[in-house]
Structure 1
Amino acid sequence: MDILLNVLADKRIEEEITISGSKSESNRLLILQKLFPEITIENLSDSDDSVHMHHALTTEDLLVDIGHAGTAMRFLTSYFAVNKGREVFLTGSERMQNRPIEILVNALKDLGADITYAEKQGYPPLKIKGKKLTKDKVQINGNVSSQYISSLLLIASKLDNGLEIELTGKITSVPYIKMTLSLLSQIGIESSFQKNVIKVFPKETVKTQTVVVESDWSSASYFYSIIALADLGSEIKLSAYKQESLQGDSCLADIYSHFGVTTTFGNDFITLKKEKNTNQETLVRNLKDAPDIAQTIAVTCFAEGIACHLSGLHTLKIKETDRLVALHDELTKLGAKVSITDETLEVSKASNINSNIAIDTYNDHRMAMAFAPLALKVSIKINDAEVVTKSYQKFWNDMEQIGINITHL
């Protein structure tokens, strides 16, 4: 499905939007709920990734196909490794079969797991025979994907002696690791994180409880971008959000002050308002703790005619697509001057945006959503627009609610 977003005539916006639960929290809690059935989850994400996760955890089939869901692939690899007596063939889309997983598999094998590669060394699909893991110490590189670490943390309390993880190298996306540890603590599992060593203590059962998932901050980023590009006085109310968030992307509130957007916290909601014009100084940010919002920020800077230098982006190369290359190519189509390295992206100040450009999305939900706010400036086409369902089922409906006219091509 390709769509045309017609340029928004009235750029004075005032709306209320409800966003579903965080995909990151939901997928962690779905694993924990399977390990500890005493847990009930509310405000679960309706994303494709969480749907795939839920199906994988409830099916009895030998073949488990998680499509494009990278988080599900990482978390399920550890879950099935400790699911004693269960054998699975864990696979995904063509892109998923080219996303590395060897670091996690090696760590699990060091703990005694029975995992083999069905096709290419170091990549899915995987053959996993669940068994009891008796070792309780492991080393893993912390510089590639925090999801590998979280995957181990989620199963750690079910090992007889818990688990001690020594992280080597620099640690990427620390907020996501802390999110996992905070969720463990919330349901009653003890842990410690000192220097480069994480310990999780064993736990057989937890008390009966309900966990409410906070709405997704990554999804909120697109509305920050919209308000940044809107007229002064525009505002959008988003629910349900907490000021003390577990999500690293909550740094949006600080970052978007550069664009004159203020964030006011209410009782389980936030209000975004365009109070000032954008600061014309170059935006310089290290996003190593929040790489998923890099695309949104880069597009906002280009649309507002300011330069940006974003770093800490090395994990973007192993996402749904190589997001650095994808950003370079699509922004260039729009008239931007962009330079990238393996971990940085620079966009030069621009004075013009090419109109009616077709944005390719590369099976990446965030490419579609990050470029959508440009409809406040120019008409823009989005190819394969349905990819947004990976994390945000009703995204295009919400775009129409704020006044963007969408034509299906």
Structure 2
Amino acid sequence: MKLHLTGPSDKHLNETITITGSKSESNRSLLLAALYPAISIENLSNSDDAQVMEQGLKITEGTVDIHHAGTAMRFLTGYFASQEGKEVVLTGSKRMTERPIEILVDALKSLGADISYVQDEGYPPIKIKGKRIVKDKVSLPANVSSQYISSLLLIAPSLENGLELELVGKITSVPYIKMTLALLEEIGVKTSFEGNRIKVSSQDKVASSTLVVESDWSSASYFYSICALSDPGTEITLSAYKKESLQGDSVLAKIYTSFGVETTFGENIITLKKTDKKVSTENEFDLANAPDIAQTIAVTCFGLGVGCHLTGLHTLKIKETDRLEALDTELSKLGASISVTDKTLTLLPTKAITADVSIDTYNDHRMAMAFAPLAMRTTLFVNNAEVVSKSYPDFWNDLKQLHFTIREL
């Protein structure tokens, strides 16, 4: 599906949008509910990723195909490895078979798991024979994707002796680790996180409880971008959000003050307001704890004609696509002066934007959504626009609510 996007003629917006539950929180909650049936979930994400996670958890033998869902791949690897009697082959899309899984597999095998590679060593698909895991100590490099770490932590309370996890080196993506631990605490599991050592106690049963999933801050980022690119006085209200969020991407509220957007917290809502504050021309952000908003920030800066230097982006190389190279390619097509390394992105201020460029999305939902706000400043095309269903199926309809003109070609 190819879309042609034109922004609203009136750049002074005033709308309210309800955003689906966080994909990150939903997938963690689904795994915990599979381990402990006394748990129920509210405001579950309607994303493709959450759906394949939910379906995958119901399978006891045969092939589990998680398509493009990296979170599901990592979380289900830990889950099936610890489920005695279940035997599956965990696979996904062509891109998924190019995304490394070896660090997590090695950690699980050191605990006694039975996992083997079906094709290429270190990559999916993988064959898993579930076993009772009794070993309780394991170590991982601290700078790996937090999903590897969370995969181990989520199954930890169901293991016979719990788990003690040592992280070697400087830890990245701390908010996502803390999100996992907070959810474990919420269902009554004892945890500790001191220095580079995390401990999770074993727990046979938990009390009946309901996990209420907060809406997705990554999805909110696109409305922060729209607000930043709109006229002063614009107000966009989003629900359902809370000030004390478990999600690392909630740092958006602080970051976007540099672009003239103020955030007001209400009861389960946030209101974004574009002020007449002068936009910062030089912006440097370390996104090691929130890499998923890097694309949005880079595109926002380009649309505003200001520069940025983004660091802490090493995990973007192994996402749905190599997001750094994809940003380099697509922003350059629009006229940007951009350079990337394996973990940084530098954008120089550029005033001119090339119109009617076709943005390629590389099977990456965030490429489609991050570039869409640029329609506030120019007309553009988005190729394979249906990829947004991975995390935010309602995205294009919500843009129409903001008076974007979206024409399917």
What band does the TM-score fall into relative to the shorter chain? over 0.9
Counterpart CA distance in 2 for 1:210 and 1:312 is: 35
1:17–1:34 distance in 2 versus 1, CA, 3 Å: same
Counterpart CA distance in 2 for 1:67 and 1:229 is: 34
Determine whether 1:73 maps to 2:70. Answer: no
Task: Write out per-residue CA displacement over residues 211-266 of structure 1, whole angstroms, 9 at most, x where no aligned residue.
Answer: 11000000000000000000110011000000000000000000000111010000
1:60 is displaced (CA, Å) by 4.0
What is the CA RMSD across the aligned residues, in angstroms?
Answer: 0.7
Structure 2 gaps, min length 5: none
Kindly provide the amino acid, as one letter, of the partner of residue 182 in structure 1: A
Determine whether 1:407 maps to 2:404. Answer: no
- What secondary structure sits across from 1:116 in the alignment? strand
Equivalence map 1:302-341=2 (5 Å): 302-341=302-341
Equivalence map 1:48-63=2 (5 Å): 48-63=48-63
- Contact kept? 1:8, 1:377, Cα under 8 Å: no
Counterpart CA distance in 1 for 2:10 and 2:131 is: 60
Partner of 2:270: 270
Partner of 1:137: 137
- What secondary structure sits across from 2:45 in the alignment? coil
- What secondary structure sits across from 2:309 in the alignment? strand
- What secondary structure sits across from 2:332 in the alignment? helix
Partner of 2:121: 121
- What secondary structure sits across from 1:157 in the alignment? helix
- Contact kept? 1:278, 1:304, Cα under 8 Å: no
1:310–1:2 distance in 2 versus 1, CA, 3 Å: same
- What secondary structure sits across from 1:254 in the alignment? helix
Kindly provide the amino acid, as one letter, of the partner of residue 365 in structure 2: H
1:276 is displaced (CA, Å) by 2.1
Counterpart CA distance in 1 for 2:284 and 2:250 is: 17
1:8 is displaced (CA, Å) by 2.7
Partner of 1:170: 170
- What secondary structure sits across from 1:236 in the alignment? strand
- Contact kept? 1:261, 1:276, Cα under 8 Å: no
Counterpart CA distance in 1 for 2:61 and 2:137 is: 31
1:7 is displaced (CA, Å) by 3.6
1:281 is displaced (CA, Å) by 2.7
- What secondary structure sits across from 1:224 in the alignment? helix
Counterpart CA distance in 2 for 1:208 and 1:23 is: 23
Partner of 2:21: 21
Counterpart CA distance in 1 for 2:142 and 2:331 is: 31
Kindly provide the amino acid, as one letter, of the partner of residue 215 in structure 2: S
Kindly provide the amino acid, as one letter, of the partner of residue 333 in structure 1: K
Equivalence map 1:217-236=2 (5 Å): 217-236=217-236
1:172 is displaced (CA, Å) by 1.6
1:63–1:211 distance in 2 versus 1, CA, 3 Å: same
Q: Under a length normalisation based on structure 2, what TM-score does the superposition of the two structures give?
A: 0.99
Query: How many residue pairs get matched?
Result: 409
Counterpart CA distance in 2 for 1:32 and 1:210 is: 11
Partner of 2:194: 194
Partner of 1:352: 352
- What secondary structure sits across from 2:158 in the alignment? coil
Kindly provide the amino acid, as one letter, of the partner of residue 373 in structure 1: P
- Contact kept? 2:235, 2:274, Cα under 8 Å: yes
Partner of 1:390: 390
Partner of 2:242: 242
Partner of 2:294: 294
Q: Under a length normalisation based on structure 1, what TM-score does the superposition of the two structures give?
A: 0.99
Kindly provide the amino acid, as one letter, of the partner of residue 405 in structure 1: T
1:277 is displaced (CA, Å) by 4.0
1:356 is displaced (CA, Å) by 0.2
1:278–1:374 distance in 2 versus 1, CA, 3 Å: farther
- Contact kept? 2:60, 2:88, Cα under 8 Å: no
1:15–1:305 distance in 2 versus 1, CA, 3 Å: same
Determine whether 1:31 maps to 2:34. Answer: no
Counterpart CA distance in 2 for 1:6 and 1:402 is: 11
Kindly provide the amino acid, as one letter, of the partner of residue 369 in structure 1: M
Counterpart CA distance in 1 for 2:144 and 2:307 is: 28
Partner of 2:372: 372
Task: Write out per-residue CA displacement over residues 153-197 of structure 1, whole angstroms, 9 at most, x where no aligned residue.
Answer: 000011111100010122120000000000000110001001100
1:213–1:88 distance in 2 versus 1, CA, 3 Å: same
- What secondary structure sits across from 1:193 in the alignment? strand
- Contact kept? 1:228, 1:278, Cα under 8 Å: no
- Contact kept? 1:259, 1:276, Cα under 8 Å: no
Determine whether 1:285 maps to 2:285. Answer: yes
- Contact kept? 2:8, 2:402, Cα under 8 Å: no
Structure 1 gaps, min length 5: none
Partner of 1:110: 110
1:386–1:78 distance in 2 versus 1, CA, 3 Å: same
Partner of 1:99: 99
Identical positions, percent = 63
Kindly provide the amino acid, as one letter, of the partner of residue 54 in structure 1: E
Partner of 1:4: 4
- What secondary structure sits across from 2:4 in the alignment? strand
Task: Write out per-residue CA displacement over residues 96-155 of structure 1, whole angstroms, 9 at most, x where no aligned residue.
Answer: 000000000000000000000000000000000001011100011121201000000000
- What secondary structure sits across from 1:165 in the alignment? strand
Kindly provide the amino acid, as one letter, of the partner of residue 264 in structure 2: T
1:81 is displaced (CA, Å) by 0.3
- Contact kept? 2:229, 2:303, Cα under 8 Å: yes
- What secondary structure sits across from 1:242 in the alignment? coil
1:278 is displaced (CA, Å) by 4.3
Counterpart CA distance in 1 for 2:318 and 2:155 is: 24
Counterpart CA distance in 2 for 1:185 and 1:324 is: 35
- Contact kept? 2:143, 2:171, Cα under 8 Å: yes
- What secondary structure sits across from 1:62 in the alignment? strand
Counterpart CA distance in 1 for 2:61 and 2:357 is: 44
- What secondary structure sits across from 1:121 in the alignment? coil
